[in-house]
Structure 1
Amino acid sequence: MSASTEAFLAMLAAERGAARNTLAAYRRDLAQAEEAIGDLAIVDRDAVASLAGEWAGLAPASVARKASVLRQFFGFAIDEGWRRDDPSGALPTLRTRRPLPKVLGHDQIAALFARAEEEAAGDDPRAVRLLALIELLYGSGLRASELVELPLVAVPRDAPFLTITGKGGTTRLVPVGARALAALARWLALRPALPASRYLFPSGTKGTGGQHLTRVRLFQLLKALAGRAGIDPAQISPHVLRHAFATHLLEGGADLRVLQTLLGHADIATTQIYTHVDSARLVALVNSCHPLATRATSD
């Protein structure tokens, strides 16, 4: 990659606190663009326009993401004095609808937890660990990366809260319910003693050094559990359980601002996507509480 794109990524990390996964995705997009048209700090508008052909076979969301990254880069290049022109107008301008999140129903959540609790009835460390993992995913709405990277010291002692370091290095307090606390207590009693590991969920239950459980392994464990619970594994992921946490809280009457804080969203517009699942309750609320609801309709 060119020095200019490396400088751009360094700025994102230092000044905007971009998350590691975001930086990795941006790096891939920028590297692919440079491979196709050359150094982005000096390419002309026609070269930038040719990227539309390079991206022709991609999904609209992927094209939108790549174009967004390049627009940010070109703005940075102008600020740094590397370019006098802004060629971003030659990029595709697709408008994509944000997909609605997948959500598990209450019956599916019940089946998933029933299976996990049944398997964790004994002292099998792997089964108890999995129960603790899904309790935190659904009970506290953690992101997969936040969960697997939880340090051992994050386990609540005096108050039922976890201190979570989320996207961009921001921290937030997340409440931990009684069920999750009980599952964590069981896991800590069985967790292998690993002086080298500072993580709550180290990789392996017999100890394989100082690494934590990977996100990929968490996906695999959850999908396998879903299959054993009679749920289509394609319907479930750690993020789907996070969505279920948010959706079911809204159904129960949670405030959207509170939910924003719990989920660690910087922009409430991100949280508002969950309101689609609560439309039936909102309609019922209007029909029962609006002053006109009690007035008889005219013949």
Structure 2
Amino acid sequence: MNTVWDWLENWLISRRNQNQSVQTIQAYSRDVTDFLKFCENKALDLHSIETSDLREFLTFKVEQGRLSRSSLQRQLSAIRQFMKWVSENHLIAQNVTKDFQLKRHARPLPGLVDPETIIQILDQPAPKNHIQQQLWIRDKALLELLYSSGIRLSEIQGLTFKDIDFQRKLIRITGKGNKTRIVPFGESAKNAILTWLQVYRVWKREFKSDDAVFISQRCGEPLGARQIEKRVKFQAQRAGVNVDLHPHLLRHCFASHLLSGSGDLRAVQEMLGHSNLSTTQIYTHLDFDRLASVYDQAHPRAQKVKVE
């Protein structure tokens, strides 16, 4: 009766017959041998091996060998090809590696800032200087909306007054791929934007509904990306917060704090404008009533109104 080691030798011969390089075959042999030795030590039979056994092996390799993700993928590929050959030759009934996938490597996210620190920035006192007061009113509206809606830097740059529904507290956002989404924003953001609108009218006496919401004090032109980043960073420093604050970090905080409060990943996904759950998983459309309910119950700034 052939053993698994005979299977391995025969599989490697089939690889050679397909003119694969010596280096590739040596790597295959090494990777699959590691797996078979693991199974042997654990008294695991390839006829009845389960997905959990494969996962245990890969975890073992990470812990013992400190493998990089690419090395782990290479080893899994070798095992998958070996098991496919074994299955196709009717040596085992089921190939559990067929649909087994490593989790996608998560993209690094900026460090999370707790809600109390964000609120410390948003609720800091206004400066005494008149011009600085006006700049703070604009910046506060900017900060509130970034944190309240999870809007991207490029999206808030392109935001116009016609995109804001103050009565229902909704904004229409045109995001990546020119896709449009509707997102709720909180009472604090609404009040901050309405206060900013009073200053806006002083800075720019004549404006149309399709004008940019956030403009510069000097020329009344829309704020650029670098200007917005600088103002966000400046207001965090002015509040005495030791955080390198930037718009994407506020977007991350919005998502994390809302998800922490609601546990509704799909609702957060839709508010962020992600096309699938692996970015925030399968895209699921939710009606606005559901989104609004999740938002009102979970976001730290959904209902809070500062009393002067």
Q: TM-score range by the shorter chain?
A: 0.5 to 0.7
What is the correspondence of 1:253-292 to structure 2 with a 5 Å cutoff? 253-271=262-280
Match of 1:225 among 231, 235, 239: 235
Q: Is the 8 A contact 2:150 2:254 kept in 1?
A: yes
1:214 correspondence with 2:224: yes
1:244 correspondence with 2:253: yes
Alpha-carbon deviations, 1:23-74, whole Å to 9, x = none? xxxxxxxxxxxxxxxxxxxxxxxxxxxxxxxxxxxxxxxxxxxxxxxxxxxx
Alpha-carbon deviations, 1:233-263, whole Å to 9, x = none? 43x1111011111111111124111000100
Q: Is the 8 A contact 1:120 1:128 kept in 2?
A: no
For residues 195 and 106 of structure 1, the distance between their equivalents in structure 2, rounded to whole angstroms, comes to: 35
1:180 correspondence with 2:192: no
* Paired positions, count: 174
Q: CA deviation at 1:150?
A: 0.5
* 1:118 aligned residue: 126
For residues 120 and 180 of structure 1, the distance between their equivalents in structure 2, rounded to whole angstroms, comes to: 22
* 1:106 aligned residue: 115
CA 1:167/1:148 → structure 2, altered by over 3 Å: closer, same or farther?
same
For residues 249 and 114 of structure 1, the distance between their equivalents in structure 2, rounded to whole angstroms, comes to: 19
Q: What SS is found at the alignment partner of 1:239?
A: helix
Q: Is the 8 A contact 1:104 1:244 kept in 2?
A: yes
Q: What SS is found at the alignment partner of 1:270?
A: coil
Query: Deviating runs (4+, > 4 A) in structure 1?
Result: 120-123
1:143 correspondence with 2:180: no
* 1:82 aligned residue: none
* 1:50 aligned residue: none
Residue identity in the other structure for 2:231: L
Q: Is the 8 A contact 2:147 2:254 kept in 1?
A: yes
Structure with higher helix content? 1
Q: What SS is found at the alignment partner of 1:268?
A: coil
Q: Is the 8 A contact 1:201 1:212 kept in 2?
A: yes
For residues 166 and 115 of structure 2, the distance between their equivalents in structure 1, rounded to whole angstroms, comes to: 30
For residues 249 and 96 of structure 1, the distance between their equivalents in structure 2, rounded to whole angstroms, comes to: 23
For residues 134 and 266 of structure 1, the distance between their equivalents in structure 2, rounded to whole angstroms, comes to: 25
For residues 121 and 100 of structure 1, the distance between their equivalents in structure 2, rounded to whole angstroms, comes to: 37
CA 1:110/1:217 → structure 2, altered by over 3 Å: closer, same or farther?
same
1:134 correspondence with 2:143: yes
Instruction: State the identity as a percent.
Output: 35
* 1:201 aligned residue: 214
What is the correspondence of 1:28-39 to structure 2 with a 5 Å cutoff? none
Q: Which structure: larger Rg?
A: 2
Q: Is the 8 A contact 1:160 1:177 kept in 2?
A: yes
Alpha-carbon deviations, 1:273-296, whole Å to 9, x = none? xxxxxxxxxxxxxxxxxxxxxxxx
For residues 104 and 112 of structure 1, the distance between their equivalents in structure 2, rounded to whole angstroms, comes to: 11
* 2:6 aligned residue: none
For residues 146 and 241 of structure 2, the distance between their equivalents in structure 1, rounded to whole angstroms, comes to: 17
Q: CA deviation at 1:120?
A: 9.0
Q: Is the 8 A contact 2:141 2:189 kept in 1?
A: yes
Q: What SS is found at the alignment partner of 1:230?
A: coil
For residues 252 and 227 of structure 2, the distance between their equivalents in structure 1, rounded to whole angstroms, comes to: 20
Q: CA deviation at 1:96?
A: 6.3
Q: CA deviation at 1:232?
A: 2.5
Q: Taking structure 1 as the reference length, what is the TM-score of the superposition?
A: 0.53
Q: Is the 8 A contact 2:157 2:224 kept in 1?
A: yes
Q: Is the 8 A contact 2:166 2:190 kept in 1?
A: no
Q: Is the 8 A contact 1:163 1:174 kept in 2?
A: yes
Q: Is the 8 A contact 1:132 1:183 kept in 2?
A: yes
What is the correspondence of 1:154-165 to structure 2 with a 5 Å cutoff? 154-165=163-174
Residue identity in the other structure for 1:259: V
Residue identity in the other structure for 2:117: Q
